[in-house]
Amino acid sequence: MLLYYVIIGLLNPSWKFNLVYWPAGFMLAMLFTGKIWKRLKRLGRVTGREIKSSTLGRILIGLSWGLGFIIGWVLIPRLDPGVNLESNLATGFLTFIALSVLAMWLVFARFDPRETEREIIPAFLLPAIGIPCAMKMEAGAITWAGFIVALSFTLTILWYLYSAFKAIER
């Protein structure tokens, strides 16, 4: 996501760039996530804590992102909640991230409530908190929303790293 802003700032590509960048970025992220998941499962076997995944869980996570996409990128901008088109898009973007990650977190919690990952909370809470501000911004709203999401994901990653090192210390 941050690479996107760097490219946009340096090259100012046409809107068609989005049609290539985001699908390619999503596929790369899924490939990387798959490799991490395999290592995590191997680590679970070594430590005696088998990590399971379910087809239903994967489907529900996919649906959470699909629903978030429809609400955030299609419905919200059409409702015209902001002061201009840019604030509408920023509001939609933040809604997309907040709803998608929240729904994904709820899927994780349903499959094992004792193991609910608190670390992911900033990834949906900060974008949700940013929605009212994005609605009122007359300029720079979409860039600001992007940085709110980047901050929320950074805090999530830092919290996960902290938890991982804390677990290693035990």
| Residue ranges per structural domain of the chain | 1-51, 52-170
What confidence score (pLDDT) does residue 41 get? 76
51-75 b/e (C-beta count within 10 Å ≥ 16 → b): eeeeeeeeebbeebbeebeebbeee
Q: What per-residue confidence (pLDDT) applies to 111?
A: 67
* Residue with tokens 């899927």, as numbered in its chain: 107
18: which 2 tokens?
Answer: 């989005």
Alpha carbon separation from 150 to 20, 30, 59, 145 (Å, rounded): 21, 18, 26, 9
CA 131 – CA 94 distance, rounded (Å):
6
Q: What is the pLDDT of residue 158?
A: 94
Answer yes or no: are the C-beta atoms of 100 and 67 closer than 8 Å: yes
* DSSP label of 137: -
At 113 the pLDDT is: 64
DSSP state, residue 74? I
pLDDT value, residue 85: 94
Residue 103's closest CA among 90, 78, 126, 120?
A: 120
- pLDDT value of position 168: 75
- What pLDDT score does 102 carry? 95
122's CB contacts (< 8 A; 6+ apart) are: 152, 155, 156, 159
pLDDT of residue 109: 83
Asked if residues 95 and 71 have their Cβ atoms less than 8 Å apart, the reply is yes
Q: Is 113 exposed, middle or buried (0-12, 13-18, 19+ CB in 10 A)?
A: exposed
Local confidence pLDDT in tens for the 170 residues of the chain: 788 888 888 999 998 998 899 889 889 988 988 888 788 777 777 766 667 778 888 899 899 999 999 999 999 999 999 999 999 999 999 999 999 999 999 988 876 666 678 899 999 999 999 999 999 999 999 999 999 999 999 999 999 889 888 877 76
By CB neighbour count within 10 A (0-12 exposed, 13-18 middle, 19+ buried), where does 95 fall?
Answer: buried
